[in-house]
Amino acid sequence: AQRVTQPEKLLSVFKGAPVELKCNYSYSGSPELFWYVQYSRQRLQLLLRHISRESIKGFTADLNKGETSFHLKKPFAQEEDSAMYYCALSVRTSGSRLTFGEGTQLTVNP
C-alpha cells in the first residue's frame, strides 16, 4: 500500500528565507505526486503537481524517485505563504484516490 510521510508538523521561517517542506513516499511503482495547500479558513486547493513541472507562487517541487521524495521549495518565503501544506499521492492501479501526508503547518514570520 502507498504511504506519504511529512516529517515536520510545524515549520517556522522568517520572511525572505528559503523554505523546504519535506515529503517522502513509499510506493513501488510510478506515482503521481501533488502538493495541496490550505490557507487559514479556506478550503484545500491544489498548489502544484509533479507532472506539470511548473512553478506556482514561486514554489517548485521535484520528484526524486531514487530518494522517493517530493520536497516543496521556495527560495524566498513570504508572509502570505503561511498555511497548512499537504503532500499527496495517487497511483494508476487504484484509480483516483489521493493518499495524503500528515501535513506541515508553515509559518512565515515578518
Binding site for another protein (CB under 8 A): 32, 36, 42-46, 49, 51, 86, 88, 90-92, 94-103
If one counts every other C-beta atom within 10 angstroms of the C-beta of residue 9, the result is 10
d(CA 90, CA 30): 9
Report angle CA 17, 19, 24 to the nearest 5 degrees. Answer: 165
Shortest Å, Cβ 24 to another protein: 14
d(CA 56, CA 49): 10
φ and ψ at residue 14, rounded to 5 degrees: -95, 150
d(CA 89, CA 91): 7
Shortest Å, Cβ 27 to another protein: 12
Shortest Å, Cβ 32 to another protein: 5
Nearer to another protein, 15 or 38 (CB): 38
Shortest Å, Cβ 93 to another protein: 9
